[in-house]
Structure 1
């Protein structure tokens, strides 16, 4: 969001004389059309800030995102989150952060403002991380496959909220998706001429007697920029985002994308993909794998490949996997 004014939003705010206090002004209608309780503020030490009021009952502690030059404070007694600039050389960036937070809260209820604000700040914390780079082609393929599973399969069984909550991969979960005792590990690979997928640890395909684990494997290949059927990772992100109607759920989705390393600000127009076949495998019995139980003590961080040509006996149709998730 770009602020619809050229005026410095903190102009005219008087620096408070008491330590720990803020002078605040409600964000004007031109940038706050829903008149949310969001304020431009000045701290007692003359730092620009954004103050977001919320209702939270019962109040529970929540982990706040961290920045190098921006402070984020949650004041329980006042029912407000304060985002305060600590380095005055970053005013332009801070203004963009503030504008984006204001925009993201426009359709959020007062009860959800706290969570939505924190989710949006988590995204900015990842975006402003030093030495951040765009997703590699392999990482794009992996994210596209996870989003396709979320869009076409998880949403077929669960509501949007539950489907998103089950997407645990971006939070470094042991599997990409978890729904009760049913887990899905998502893999992408090139065309059927290459049957191998990479397993990144000995824990990834662990399973106990009460769990079900499926491998979702999608063929994805790079294609030319003039391929009308081709798509970018941004196209897939936007398609999923359109299916999400709750502002709080959109914020949760964007936070997971940030954890996965994806940001709308990055340009992926030069990386287009085509989609091939999709397969489900059930991981049970003698499925060819290395897991933590088969590793001797002292062996860890195992990366290996599975040749899917040896896994035909474990192929299942989509309805079997969908039925297990219901």
Structure 2
């Protein structure tokens, strides 16, 4: 959205002889003026929202986080200092690329709003969302393992959840993995944990904690297993899958907006698309297992007092006795997403 404008601003900022910033007004008709800019001499990208001073949030409302820096500056002339600039900036030049996505997200969400209090509340909510993003991904984007995990969850969403749903937004909200819930998907009393593996033989699935496969907290707990081959230059990539899902959700803007929010919380940003497009996936095997009494896993009640941070692995071969038709899982999803 602002690609050429960022380039112009960087040229203008580079010509400054001392500290300062080059900025441009965006969204001329917005209820609260918005600017993007580049701050010299560090060449850090910034987004500025101007709001009435009496409704501005305190500086300590937004916590310090990796990737972002937040400041509040009083603006206006010496007599009428009635406005405050809420300034978000990248904390280092290395974050400038992802900051372009942040600025576009803030602009697109704030520009249509017509009430100043609503603008401020939305601004704070979006900044907190991006702070969650920086907690989930490294400086160069998601790791290979995290990409595979996200691909598996989104493949399950596209192949089984969305086709079974009448209300798409309800189906999207069932994807709880990005929000660090106990399971990746929650459909009422039915929960689904998704595990994706790229190993070739004797596949093992990594379980993050003792609650992940503890079926005693839900009515039915399923483990959906996806085995993939990595195809360099393949067309079935993580961004391509996301494009497909966004196309399905596009008729229902509420569902699409919720999906985009969840992607951010999962650590995915469109500005890293070129990196994620390098790896394609080919599905070798998919199966669903019902986690029952004798399923090979650890329950929270199995852990002795004083023991914590439990991580373990299970063999896929040992899960085969608990395999159920995926159609059984689809029926349960459909009943929950009516």
Q: TM-score of the superposition, structure 2-length normalised?
A: 0.68
Q: Any idea what SS the aligned residue of 1:243 has?
A: helix
Q: Deviations over 1:55-77 (max 9, x none)?
A: xxxxxxxx9676552258xxxxx
Please identify which structure carries the higher helix content. 2
Find out whether 1:101 has 2:106 as its counterpart: yes
Alignment of 1:302-321 (within 5 A): 302-321=310-329
Q: Which runs of 5+ in 2 are unaligned?
A: 10-23, 36-45, 53-60, 73-83
Shift of 1:99: 4.2
8 Å contact kept, 1:122–1:255: no
Find out whether 1:157 has 2:164 as its counterpart: yes
Distance 1:249 1:206, change over 3 A: same
Aligned partners of 1:87 and 1:321: how far apart in 2?
Answer: 44
8 Å contact kept, 1:116–1:251: no
Find out whether 1:276 has 2:284 as its counterpart: yes
Find out whether 1:296 has 2:296 as its counterpart: no
8 Å contact kept, 1:108–1:116: no
Shift of 1:256: 2.2
Aligned partners of 2:114 and 2:34: how far apart in 1?
Answer: 20
Q: TM-score of the superposition, structure 1-length normalised?
A: 0.70
Measured on the aligned residues, the alpha-carbon RMSD in Å equals: 4.0
Q: Any idea what SS the aligned residue of 1:69 has?
A: strand
8 Å contact kept, 2:198–2:227: yes
Q: Deviations over 1:46-97 (max 9, x none)?
A: x9732589xxxxxxxxx9676552258xxxxxxxx9743489999x959944
Distance 1:293 1:223, change over 3 A: same
8 Å contact kept, 1:71–1:83: yes
Q: Deviations over 1:106-144 (max 9, x none)?
A: 677979867765554345435667963322222111110
Alignment of 1:13-32 (within 5 A): 27-28=26-27
Q: Which runs of 5+ in 1 are unaligned?
A: 9-24, 30-34, 42-46, 54-62, 73-80
Q: Any idea what SS the aligned residue of 2:288 has?
A: strand
Greater CA drift, 271-280 or 101-110: 101-110
